[in-house]
Amino acid sequence: MAKTFTAQIMVLNHPSVITVGYTPVFHIHTAQIACTFLELQKKMDPSTGAVKEENPQFLKTGDAAIVKIQPTRPMVIEKAKEFPQLGRFAIRDMGQTVAAGVCLDVEKRVM
């Protein structure tokens, strides 16, 4: 189970901006769990993957980024490199898909 996880996301369609504290619903395999954005680590160039900005203040439609996320309930997610099917997710809010991403790293929850 994940205490927090680091993910690379692509913002597909968000009406305003995404900041720290944003809590949309993540659809990870069969689970639907609200997760909070704890940290926006890097904003990336979507075409090249090069880092455009460290610790950005916000993300908007069309941005790719590496973010740290904390689930609000117990949740299982795997690193996409180790188990691709369980490492992908969609982020939904306001009845639409606002972003999609893959898990890069997981901080395991201590039982």
Nearest to 7 by CA among 92, 70, 68: 68
34-80: pLDDT as tens digits: 999 999 999 999 888 899 999 999 999 999 999 999 999 999 999 99
Confidence of residue 110 (pLDDT cuts 50, 70, 90): confident
Cβ of 84: how many Cβ atoms within 10 Å?
Answer: 12
SS3 84: helix
Single pTM value for the model: 0.92
Looking up residue 85, the CATH number of its domain turns out to be 2.40.30.10
57: containing domain:
2-108
Q: Please tell me the total count of domains within the chain.
A: 1
